[in-house]
Structure 1
Amino acid sequence: MLVPILITLYVIISLTMVISLLLNGVRPSKTLAWLLAIFTIPVAGALLYILFGRNRRKSKMFSQKHQTAPNDQFKNEDCRPEISANKEKITSLISNTSKCPVTCYNHLELLKDGRNTFESIFNALEEAKEHIHLQYYIFEDGLLADKLLEVFERKVAENVTIRLLYDGIGSYSLSKKYLKKLKGIGVETAQFLPFKFGRFLSSLNYRNHRKIIVIDNKIGFTGGINISDKYLKGDPAQGKWHDSHLKIEGEAVDFLNRTFVTDWFLASVKKVDLNTLKIYRTQKKYTSLQIVPSSPDDDFDVMEQVYFSIINSAEKYLYIVNPYIIPNHAILQALITAALSGVDVKILMSSSTDIKLVDWCVRAYFESYLKAGIKIYLYEEGFLHSKVMLCDDEIASIGTANLDNRSLQQNYEAQVFVYDNELCRKMKSDFLSDCDKSTLLSDYEKFKSRSWGKKLIEGFAKLLSPLL
């Protein structure tokens, strides 16, 4: 009697999923693949669909619209980035999709690697007078966490409000003992999508990958660096971790703060009124930029659209630093088209990643790159974790988003797009310097002749690319 009931229940659930796919599916090929999985792999197919297949842009987990509007004090008159006409559409795209217009009254400091970044962060934290907001994908126990605890204790005693938001999966190792110490000194904490059985199936695949610090709505930090001692001491397997981060002073910090406050509300159900905070306009050199928060709850594929547009706008060069380049069809075709059109396309990445399966999948696309004339540089002096894109001395992108399905479709990310010739040229010089220290792959025929065993492993890994 029990078996027929279970079969009937499974059929009802499967039909419900089929209706959901037909109503909310985006790509026909993807919809067909999930339909086949549901009906040919009993139980497992349905579970996989719940974990990885749902269209979050149709069935949103959260609504973020209440926090996206600019502060009432914000004025955007006479703020025009010095970029060519074919790239102006990128600023409009970002404004329309992220509600984050171009801001001009900013000062930027490019930070490289852990020691320089954390020295700048700790110096800024000591200056806090009103609030400190921190948000990290990975927040681990260790020397950095202990030093932060010491700073927090002093600042709370000075009546500074401190809020810490951490991801439920990325910071899974963060000890209860440390969290208890934070709460004991008066730090407010919240966990984004906790790893709980009740929400396991609905939330496991959607992580908050952002790294944000905001101090008094005046100074902000974002980029690829997490709170982890491996940025100071290195890693036994990958060696020294190399990464890029930004310190921002000025009016753009308000948009960074709004990103934090939105996520804080989603995790804690506590509201923070940012309209009472002052927007600071730096008196230093002005730099035009846009903050781009993206998430699976957005109406559009924001990060994918911006990356795609920048690649298509390239006329002279496109340089990319990213450890996890697993492009979807649109991004792959854009890269290939740019290279075949005569654009100098260079990709710099580590000789190996921190996850072997991902490493195989990344390499599965090398043959397509090389055939189109894209040059690949493999960095061997540690692990490159930066997420950087440079285009024509006009646009520099630094932040948290990788060029893979997870960052473009499933994660909560934050990327900064800077329109500054001087910064672009400085970053281009650093990029080319790192290329000189790397191994160049440019011989298509030589790479194509690699062993069938490697091709087979890469082909298998490539099948899993939508999940990585």
Structure 2
Amino acid sequence: MLLITVIVVYIIIALSMVISLLLNGVRPSKTLGWLLAIFTIPVGGFLLYLMLGRNRRKNKLFPLQNDFFEDLPYDFKQKDLPVLENHTKTVELIQGTSKCPVTNHNEITLLKDGKNTFESIFKALEDAKEHIHLQYYIFEDGLLAQKLLEIFERKVKENVQVRLLYDGIGSYSLSKRYLRKLQKIGVEVVQFLPFRFGRFLSSLNYRNHRKIIVVDNKIGFTGGINISDKYLKGDPSVGKWHDTHLKIEGEAVSYLNRVFISDWFLASKKKVDFTSFNVVKTPEESTSMQIVPSSPDDDFPIMEQVYFSIINGAKKYLYITNPYIIPNHAILQSLETAALSGVDVRLLMSSSTDMKLVDWCVRAYFDSYLKAGIKIYLYPDGILHSKVMISDDTIASVGTANLDNRSLQQNYEANAILYSPLLCKELKADFLMDCSKSKKLTDHLTFSNRPWVNKLIEGSAKLMSPLL
């Protein structure tokens, strides 16, 4: 009798999941795969589907996230800026999906690697007068964390409101002792999607990968750098960590702050009165840019669409620095199409990353790149962690999003899209300098002659690409 009851319950659960897949499934191949898993892997198929399979664009973790961007005024006239002539579709795509328009009164400083970045961050924090907002995927104990603690203590005594938001999985090693110190000195601390029994199946796969600092709504920072001492001292196993970050001054900071305030509300249920924040413009019209927030709660995969738009819009060159290029079909096809159409497409990656499985999965696509004429550069000196895309000296993306399924579909991410020939040329020069230090792969026939064992491992790792 008990066995019959278990079988009936199992069938009911399976049928409910089948109905959910048929109603909410995105791609037929993916839907079919989950159907096979549910019916061929008892119990395990259910658990995998609950963790990895649900369509978050229909079954949202946090609905109405973009409401935080509804009422922020701006006075931009697109037709007045020739720099945007070739990127009208990208501009409108970002504004239509994320509600973040182009802002034009901004000053951008490119920050390379940890030392320069944290010197700039500490200076901005020391000058804070009203509020400091921080959110990080990885926030670790160490010298940087201690320095921040000391700054926070001084600023709280000066009546500066300090809020810290950290990801529950990315910052799992952050000690309770450090968190207690923060709370003791008056810092508001909130964990984003904590690892809790009863909810971890539905939230484990969706992480907040953003790295944002906002000071007084007038200075902002974003990019690839986390709060970790490896950016200062390196990592014993992989060497130096190289990365790219941005310091933003001007009206775009208001949108970066809105991203933080939105996430703060989602995690804490506490509203921040952003109507009291002044929108600070640089004295003269300077860099035009857009902030692009993306999340699994969006109706569309915004970051994937933006990358896709930049790739398809390239006419002369497309240079990409990214540690984790594991493209889905759309991104792979757009890269191949660009290269086959005569665009100079170059990919710059580390020779190895901090995760061996990811290394094999990344290399599984090299054959396809080389066949299409895409040039691959493997950087030998430690980890190249930057997430940068540059095209035609007119548009660039710098931010937190990798070119993999996790960043494009599952994570909370934030990129800055820069419409600036000057900054594009600066990023391009940096890219070419790194390429000059790297090993270049261009010959498909030579690469295809690698040992068959390597090909087998790469093919096996490629099966995991939807999860990476």
> TM above 0.5, one fold?
yes
Q: Deviation at 1:81?
A: 4.3
Q: Deviation at 1:66?
A: 2.5
Q: After superposing the two structures, state which structure 1 stretch, 9-18 or 82-91, moved more.
A: 82-91
List aligned pairs for 1:48-447, cutoff 5 A.
48-63=48-63, 64-72=65-73, 74-77=74-77, 80-83=80-83, 85-283=85-283, 286-447=286-447
Q: Deviation at 1:386?
A: 0.2
CA contact 1:79–1:103 (8 Å) conserved in 2 = no
Letter paired with 1:247: K
Q: Deviation at 1:47?
A: 0.9
List aligned pairs for 1:8-87, cutoff 5 A.
8-63=8-63, 64-72=65-73, 74-77=74-77, 80-83=80-83, 85-87=85-87
Q: After superposing the two structures, state which structure 1 stretch, 5-14 or 136-145, moved more.
A: 5-14
Q: State how far apart, in whole Å, the 2-side matches of 1:11 and 1:82 are.
A: 61
Q: Deviation at 1:86?
A: 3.9
- Post-superposition CA distance 1:15-48 (Å, at most 9, x none): 1110010000111111111111111111111111
Q: State how far apart, in whole Å, the 2-side matches of 1:287 and 1:93 are.
A: 19
TM-score calculated relative to the size of structure 1:
0.98
Letter paired with 1:410: Q
Letter paired with 1:137: Y
CA contact 2:211–2:400 (8 Å) conserved in 1 = yes
Q: State how far apart, in whole Å, the 1-side matches of 2:105 and 2:39 are.
A: 56
For residue 198 of structure 1, give the secondary structure of its aligned residue in structure 2. coil
Letter paired with 1:345: V
Q: Deviation at 1:4?
A: 2.0
Q: State how far apart, in whole Å, the 2-side matches of 1:388 and 1:84 are.
A: 19
- Post-superposition CA distance 1:104-134 (Å, at most 9, x none): 0000000000000000000000110000000
Give the aligned CA root-mean-square deviation in angstroms: 1.0
Q: State how far apart, in whole Å, the 2-side matches of 1:156 and 1:340 are.
A: 56
How many residues are matched?
467
CA contact 2:137–2:171 (8 Å) conserved in 1 = yes
For residue 342 of structure 1, give the secondary structure of its aligned residue in structure 2. coil
Pair 137,81 (structure 1): closer, same or farther in 2 beyond 3 Å: farther
Q: State how far apart, in whole Å, the 2-side matches of 1:236 and 1:79 are.
A: 52
TM-score calculated relative to the size of structure 2:
0.98
CA contact 1:336–1:369 (8 Å) conserved in 2 = yes
- Post-superposition CA distance 1:407-443 (Å, at most 9, x none): 0000000000000001101110110010000000011
Structure 2 gaps of 5+ residues are none
Letter paired with 1:390: I
CA contact 1:165–1:264 (8 Å) conserved in 2 = yes
Q: Deviation at 1:311?
A: 0.4
For residue 183 of structure 2, give the secondary structure of its aligned residue in structure 1. helix
Pair 78,24 (structure 1): closer, same or farther in 2 beyond 3 Å: closer
Pair 383,129 (structure 1): closer, same or farther in 2 beyond 3 Å: same
Q: State how far apart, in whole Å, the 1-side matches of 2:78 and 2:339 are.
A: 35
Q: Deviation at 1:69?
A: 1.5
CA contact 2:345–2:375 (8 Å) conserved in 1 = yes
For residue 354 of structure 2, give the secondary structure of its aligned residue in structure 1. coil
Q: State how far apart, in whole Å, the 2-side matches of 1:159 and 1:448 are.
A: 62
Q: Deviation at 1:82?
A: 3.4
Q: After superposing the two structures, state which structure 1 stretch, 382-391 or 58-67, moved more.
A: 58-67
Letter paired with 1:99: K
For residue 199 of structure 2, give the secondary structure of its aligned residue in structure 1. helix
CA contact 2:66–2:99 (8 Å) conserved in 1 = no
Letter paired with 2:191: Q
Q: Deviation at 1:84?
A: 5.8
Q: Deviation at 1:78?
A: 5.8
Q: State how far apart, in whole Å, the 1-side matches of 2:272 and 2:17 are.
A: 38
Q: State how far apart, in whole Å, the 2-side matches of 1:399 and 1:82 are.
A: 24
Q: After superposing the two structures, state which structure 1 stretch, 58-67 or 373-382, moved more.
A: 58-67
Q: State how far apart, in whole Å, the 2-side matches of 1:76 and 1:86 are.
A: 17
- Post-superposition CA distance 1:258-277 (Å, at most 9, x none): 00000000000000011121
Letter paired with 2:322: N
Q: State how far apart, in whole Å, the 2-side matches of 1:184 and 1:66 are.
A: 33
Q: State how far apart, in whole Å, the 2-side matches of 1:322 and 1:75 are.
A: 34
- Post-superposition CA distance 1:284-307 (Å, at most 9, x none): 561000000000000111000010
CA contact 1:167–1:193 (8 Å) conserved in 2 = yes
Q: State how far apart, in whole Å, the 2-side matches of 1:324 and 1:16 are.
A: 35
Q: Deviation at 1:76?
A: 2.4
For residue 138 of structure 1, give the secondary structure of its aligned residue in structure 2. coil
Q: State how far apart, in whole Å, the 2-side matches of 1:253 and 1:188 are.
A: 21
